[in-house]
Amino acid sequence: MTDPNTNTIDANEAVASVAYRLSEVVAIYPITPASSMGEHAEEWSTAGRTNRWGTVADVVEMQSEGGAAGALHGALQAGALATTFTASQGLLLMVPNLFKIAGELTPLCMHVAARSVATHALSIFGDHSDVMAARGTGFALLASGSPQEAQDLAAIGHAATLRSRVPFLHFFDGFRTSHEIQKIVTLDDATLDALLDGDAIAAHRARGLSPDHPVVRGTAQNPDTFFQACEAANPFHDSCPAVVADTMDRFAALTRRRYRLFDYVGHPEAERVVVMMGSGAECAHEVVDHLVARDEKVGLVKVRLYRPFSMEAFIEALPATARSVAVLDRTKEPGATGEPLLLDVTAALVDAVARSALPALPRIIGGRYGLSSKEFDPPMVKAVFDELGDESPRRRFTVGINDDVTHLSLTVDETFTTESDDVRRAVFYGLGSDGTVSSNKASIKIIGDTTPLQGQGYFELDSKKAGAMTVSHLRFGPATIRSTYRIAQAGFVAVHDPGLLERVDVLQRAAHGATVVLNLPGATEGAWDRLPRRVQGGLIDKGCRLFVIDAFAVAERFGLGRRINTVMQTCFFALADVMPVEAAIEAMKASVQATWGRRGPEIVRRNIEAIDAALAELHEIVVPTTPTAPESTRLTVPDDAPDFVQRVTRLILDGHGDRLPVSAFPPDGTWPTGTSRYEKRAIALEIPIWEPDLCVQCNRCSMICPHTAIVTKAFDPAHTAGAPATFRSEPEGFTPEFEGLSHTVQVAPDDCTGCGLCVEVCPAKDRTQPRRKAINMRPAAEHRDREREAFEFFRTIPDLPRTAIPDHPRALALLPARFEFSGACAGCGETPYIRTLTQLFGDRLVIANATGCSSIYGANLPTTPYTTGADGRGPAWNNSLFEDNAEFGLGIRLGLDANERQARALLAGLAPSLPADLVTELNAPQPTDDTARQRQRDAVIELRRHLDTLNGPEAPTLAALADSLTPRSVWAVGGDGWAYDIGYGGLDHILASNHDVNVLVLDTEVYSNTGGQQSKATPLGAIAKFASDGKETRKKDLGLLAMSYGHVYVASVAVQARSRHTLKVLQEAESHPGPSLVIAHSPCIAHGYDLVHSPAQQGRAIKSGAWPLYRYDPRRTATGEPPLVIDADPTSLPMRDYMEQEARFRMVELRDPDRFTRLVRAAEDAVRERHALYEQLARVSYPTGPGSSNGEEAHDG
């Protein structure tokens, strides 16, 4: 056994543990990668864990980071000890308050999992751009580079802020550190108590606002006073480094772990020195140790306290022998003379020379590295030292990329390695849903807890939601592991998903002689022949030992579905030789008991049986000397893909994105649409297969498919000439307008996620065998090749013109989608709305998309799901931020309207030179049907033809703007977190504005993207993070608030259960000339049930009244009708029958049935009251007469 004070955890947990214990108020807002710090704090608070003052911290989730910062400021002003956790845009939203908090010299230590700020694109990954944007606030900035350091410096930050009164922003690299699991020595309560200064705490409390000794803060100052008052704080900032240094000394005395303001490692007479902060410094530390052992005079200064920057302490830390210094910044400040740390270091060195503290100025160079968690590894550090040794090094450089545009990047020798032989390295390839990451975390913990070995785990997780690949990097060794980079040479490689063998170079990271374990379905006999040739070749070339197991079969045998994690974990312990197998298996079983015992004995029993069975099913395969599989002929992207897809997308898909040079990229973030079709992921184990004899051509399958992976089409049978036998169609027989056409239902076999929703909603049954429907899930392996061929042919059949598709629901489903094959979760309840939007308005659609799930699956590279038709038209899309999406949408509307106004002014000026009937056509009222829209588009073509013949500057200007004479449909799309919480103020404002902006709220009733935190859309009774006992307050009635304006079209829809209603609503909303708000019920994995049942469950939501269906159309007022129409009876199912079906509600019932019953009753009351109100609104009679009408004609809906 090892030290009981060790724990194997990630930095977020380690930091949160310190911050929670030292805080009374925690105000947060979820944001990746900081979310889990807040979640831990909330869990502890819910569990009644006390802080160091014996009270339970109050953890509040606010509506935005701006709100969290405001609450924090208030709590601090009241004299409480408070903290927060954030990152990236969240930190930026806090900045105004940070200035205030610092200006008022308020002790606070907040914690930031540093993450890229969105610029040309959003990125959830780590760099220092967010922290650097806050460096002018007056906060002290404290940097950590590992989970151990993050914990330790968190404590130092909390202690130092109290003594210095300067607020602290403690940061560590998002994901690389925040999510890295490391065996750390934990800080016990006694150490924290000893570190804190009781007098400083008392002083802070005494400064709190109190009517018993009132003061005023936050005054307005004028030119006569403001400046001096700012300077009055100087002594505090000036003395802050000394306070931190002293706190570090006290910390060292308590823990024997020593930190300094600037920690130097390396040769005492180093000539070449690197200066940096964060996790990259750990990697650099490893390289420096390696080079110094080879007598190279190199060194590293790790910056701990970046602000206030102590120039003296820096000069003291830097060896006097340093001749050249490279400063590495994990941020980019375009247009600056250098990145921030470089400038500070330069200033410190120049200052030292000026005051004669340094005899001569060393050569100073500066470089950028690691933006957005770009890999930063020993070869790159080595390249920086090499550059420092160069006669004429680059003054400004980048490292880690290939810059072939401005030629700033250093050349890197990739063969350089510092990995030690006494560290065991293992790499695991799995899927997000198979539990690989969780079991690896458990493995590190087992090894960390039961052996003296140090352990480190880092997990690459995809931001794709369905079928996402995970790569786990595990290291174990006798000494501290500083390798903050991915494993390149693993002695153990496990591939948990057989599908990855084809798609990914899984042996890329295998060392020579590595042990390789594959989860390979089927018999051991013939296993070798089933491996792809690339894998066979790799195994032979690298001299690997090969083991196979059919883990799916083992898991299936014990009723664990696809959860193969414990099976594969057993294989790891059996083969990796990290600890004795028997002890490992015992520990695994204990871990299963600890983790799943909370679920019940059955899950424990099944997992333990699977562990016991695993070893018997693990077989070694003797690796032959030659490959037997045929060469793969399958191309990543087809030959006919566009040039950009061939040059760029293909390489990213192949896992070579890191190797793409700078020149490959659009410099402004503009990417082509319609590329998801080239990302053939083939993740479904079963796909729907059509049985034409049963099909009633209802098109419900295509309407519900979250991934547009089952498509229905009506077409001229003449197009089937030359069709392969695998392509099937039937004469159209259910839509009179389509007489003479053919109808088909086609699966996209490589894009389907296998969710089964299409089969669930298929109403057609074989009367002799009701189990057989018109589509049925069948093994993908048996059908994929046939369906691939059929689908390829299907793509060549031209779409019917929009004008040929009649305006009724069954037929509207045949409108071609302009959104396909997104990375959304299997069974996603949001994407059907987006797909429908693109079907209805795709040729004129402009989308403003709030950050969240819909922005991730909507535009997560390498591919984009929004696409175009044969005419090249399709949705244009952009994501601004999380909080501003409504305003962004309004801005787009205003911009498009400006274009139109300009075009109309030009048209009016040129009208005398143009045919009168053409001008009339172009100036006709907004077309309301596809035929009229087409006529107007034809008129624009005609206009351009005439403009070509005209002279003068106006004609080409109008030609460029002419398309804006045709309508544009602007939609602001986002989730409930945006619409109900962070963006509500803006949403409210644009609804009040009376501009023609449509809003689609994809309401999952929880923050889905960041992992299930409650929003104001979370319904009463549901468990969510920050509502662990079940939410007690009602869901905000966003629709009712919008109705209060009177001019806003408002509707509530549920497409899985009531698709026709949804179609009608979207059409009405779009045709409404003012603002429209559509609130869309969106089943989500966060609700905790099998989403294949979402149509039925959504039906229950409607019948119980949990989800109302209504339309509020202001146009009805003009005809004297009440504007509100209720479209569903909310009383036909008891609320309990709805709630018991979802884990988010059921958990409350399991834990506390009485509370559940109370919440059910409260939910019933809420529904009853809301319905009563709606019923009255639906019967309301407004006075009529002059001035009472909005002048719009009634819409016939």
Partner 1 sequence: MADLSTTWLGLDLASPFVVGASPLADDLDALGELVAAGAGAVVLRSVFEEQIVAEEVAIHRFVDSHVDHDAEARSFLPESATFPVGAESAVAHLERVRDAVEVPVVASLNGVTPGGWTDIARDLAAAGAAAVELNLYDLATDLDETSADLEDRQLRVVAAVASAVEVPVTVKLSPFYSALPAFVRRLEHAGASGVVVFNRFYQPDIDPDELTLDRQLSLSTPAELPLRLHTLALLHGRVDLSLAATGGIHHGRDAAKAILCGADAVQVVSALLQGGSAQLVSMHAELARWVDDLGYPGLRDACGAMALRNVADPHAFERINYARLLDGWRPPRSEHRHG
122 vs 423 by CB, closer to partner 1: 122
Binding residues for partner 1, per CB under 8 A?
32-33, 35-36, 39, 42-43, 46-47, 124, 175, 432-435, 437-438, 441, 459, 461-465, 468, 470, 559-563, 596, 598-603, 605-606, 765, 767, 770, 856, 1006, 1008-1012, 1023-1026, 1028, 1084-1086, 1088-1090, 1143-1144, 1147, 1149-1151, 1153
* Active-site residue, selected from the candidate residues 65, 732, 760, 1070: 65
For residue 753, the minimal CB distance to partner 1 (Å) is 14
Cβ pair 1043, 1050 in contact under 8 A = yes
441 vs 1072 by CB, closer to partner 1: 441
For residue 368, the minimal CB distance to partner 1 (Å) is 23
Name the residue among 114, 111, 108, 151 with its Cα closest to residue 131. 114
- Could you tell me the two tokens for 526? 């013939």
134 CB neighbour count, 10 Å cutoff: 22
Please state, in angstroms and as integers, the Cα–Cα distance from residue 289 to each residue in 323, 382, 417, following that order: 19, 12, 12
For residue 500, the minimal CB distance to partner 1 (Å) is 16
For residue 347, the minimal CB distance to partner 1 (Å) is 37
799 vs 1140 by CB, closer to partner 1: 1140
* Active-site residue, selected from the candidate residues 7, 8, 32, 879: 32
Cβ pair 843, 874 in contact under 8 A = yes
For residue 1073, the minimal CB distance to partner 1 (Å) is 38
197 vs 462 by CB, closer to partner 1: 462
Q: Please report where in the chains the tokens 């649409």 appear, as a residue.
A: 673
The three-state secondary structure class of 956 is: helix
305 vs 764 by CB, closer to partner 1: 764
Could you confirm whether 1116 is annotated as catalytic?
A: no
Could you confirm whether 998 is annotated as catalytic?
A: no
92 vs 1023 by CB, closer to partner 1: 1023
Which phi and psi (to 5°) does residue 773 adopt?
Answer: -110, -175
Q: Position 578: which residue type?
A: V
Cβ pair 787, 687 in contact under 8 A = yes
Q: Which positions ≥6 away from 20 have C-beta within 8 Å?
A: 26, 40, 41, 44, 45, 49, 51, 57, 83
The b/e string for 78-111 (b: 16+ C-beta within 10 A; e otherwise) is ebbbbbbbbbbbbbbbbbebbebbbbbbbbbbbb
651 vs 856 by CB, closer to partner 1: 856
Spatial separation of the C-alpha atoms in residues 1197 and 212, rounded to whole Å: 63
Spatial separation of the C-alpha atoms in residues 1148 and 1031, rounded to whole Å: 10
Could you confirm whether 1140 is annotated as catalytic?
A: no
Query: Which is it for the CA torsion 373, 378, 384, 387, positive or negative?
Result: negative
Could you confirm whether 708 is annotated as catalytic?
A: no
1008 vs 1117 by CB, closer to partner 1: 1008
DSSP label at 1024?
Answer: B
Please state, in angstroms and as integers, the Cα–Cα distance from residue 303 to each residue in 263, 976, 1185, following that order: 7, 41, 74
For residue 594, the minimal CB distance to partner 1 (Å) is 11
- Could you tell me the two tokens for 1071? 């045709």
Please state, in angstroms and as integers, the Cα–Cα distance from residue 40 to each residue in 37, 46, 54, 59, following that order: 5, 10, 18, 10
839 vs 1013 by CB, closer to partner 1: 1013
- Could you tell me the two tokens for 147? 């989970």
* Active-site residue, selected from the candidate residues 966, 1009, 1018, 1062: 1009
For residue 709, the minimal CB distance to partner 1 (Å) is 20
Helix 65-77, helix 88-103: angle, nearest 10: 30
For residue 663, the minimal CB distance to partner 1 (Å) is 28
Cβ pair 589, 611 in contact under 8 A = yes
The b/e string for 670-700 (b: 16+ C-beta within 10 A; e otherwise) is ebbbbbbbbbbbbbbebbbbbbeebbebbbb
Please state, in angstroms and as integers, the Cα–Cα distance from residue 717 to each residue in 149, 710, 713, 742, following that order: 69, 20, 11, 5
* Active-site residue, selected from the candidate residues 24, 42, 61, 115: 115
Q: Which positions ≥6 away from 111 have C-beta within 8 Å?
A: 15, 16, 19, 34, 37, 83, 84, 85, 154, 157, 170, 171, 172
For residue 694, the minimal CB distance to partner 1 (Å) is 12
203 vs 694 by CB, closer to partner 1: 694
Spatial separation of the C-alpha atoms in residues 1021 and 548, rounded to whole Å: 47
466 vs 1054 by CB, closer to partner 1: 466
For residue 1141, the minimal CB distance to partner 1 (Å) is 11
For residue 900, the minimal CB distance to partner 1 (Å) is 38
Catalytic residue numbers, as ranges = 32, 65, 115, 1009
